[in-house]
Structure 1
Amino acid sequence: MLIERMILVAMWLFGIVGFILFIPRKDWRRGLFAFLMFQAIIWLCDMPSFQFGLLSAPVREFPKATDLPVTIDYLFYPALFSIFYVNKKVRASLWYSFAYYFIWITATTLFDSMLEKYTGLLEYKLLTWYGMWIYIGFLFYTSEICCNWFYKDKSHYKQNERGETS
């Protein structure tokens, strides 16, 4: 139980310090919006998955209040997504964008699987590691689409020869 609490404290530290160090100051507003967008989407997706027994969190911060792992879902993964979103290259090649996305999703899933295997913070019930990879990929992709829509990121829309978006 002590090791789980130490990991939760480390996630809080990395989430806050990572946000400050890995997101340039001029992009904090964009990072904060990405953080909040990911929180909203993960809440909508995790509530049913924990309710229907796909996942469980035996050790959590508020055991009598909710079944959800608050630190993992509402601080650590949103901080990772905001670092991912702010630091991605907007006009990169398709290959680079795919590789960047694939590496982030794989690293996040690997960390999640290690939490599940070696601690009591997460427990996969009906979900496997590749199911979690698809799930985290879906969360990142959906959050990225919503953030791009909010900022009306023109690099993701088709432009005609005059530079106008259609």
Structure 2
Amino acid sequence: MKKEIIILIFSWIIVISLYFWKIPAYLKGRAQIAFLLGQTIAWMYVFLSVYFKHVEFPFREFPYATKLSFSLHYLIYPAFAMFFEVTYPSSNNRKKIILHYAFFVVITNLYTFFIGHYTELTRPLKNEFLNIPIFAFLLFVAHQFNRWFQKGMKGTNT
């Protein structure tokens, strides 16, 4: 079995396991909204990245259907956004919030770096350091949307 398939299967198992065993029931709705928005943002971002030739995906689950990676941008990266939102600090302590952003941006970029340099899951074609501010901005947008969405659901999923 190719190492790419093993990495994807392992990533799927980790994401699904963490969702079911580490996210409390009262946060499942909030997590699902963050996940769906993460899918939307990831799809737009990767579509533009492929279109402008910033990245390519030599190994794809559906090579004849799309030039995009299904697992990375429909499960794994949205899961980062979901766990970012679920673990977001409840206090308005600026230091905790900045560390939270930094932690998730670093973890996401490390994952991207390792799969980009040691596997055929993705191949960065242009400056990949541009991903750092882009990921931070996308997490910020996802968090702002989730806050806005939760305002209408007073008392639930908080």
Show the counterpart of 1:143.
142
Give me the whole-angstrom Cα distance separating, in 1, the residues matched to 2:48 and 2:100: 29
C-alpha distance 22-84 of structure 1, shift in aligned 2 (>3 A): farther
Query: By how many angstroms is 1:127 displaced?
Result: 2.8
Report the number of matched residues.
152
Show the counterpart of 1:159.
none
2:89–2:100: 8 Å Cα contact kept in structure 1? no
Deviations 1:33-68 (A, max 9, x none): 110011111112221111121111110100111111
Letter of the 2:55 counterpart: L
The TM-score, its normalising length taken from structure 2, stands at: 0.90
Show the counterpart of 2:74.
74
1:18–1:79: 8 Å Cα contact kept in structure 2? no
1:38–1:81: 8 Å Cα contact kept in structure 2? yes
Letter of the 1:29 counterpart: G
Query: By how many angstroms is 1:21 displaced?
Result: 2.1
Runs of 4+ more than 6 Å apart: none
Give me the whole-angstrom Cα distance separating, in 1, the residues matched to 2:39 and 2:94: 27
Using the aligned pairs only, state the percent identity: 28
The 5 A counterparts of 1:14-93 are 14-93=14-93
Q: Which runs of 5+ in 2 are unaligned?
A: 153-158
**Structural RMSD (CA):** 1.4
Q: Which runs of 5+ in 1 are unaligned?
A: 154-166
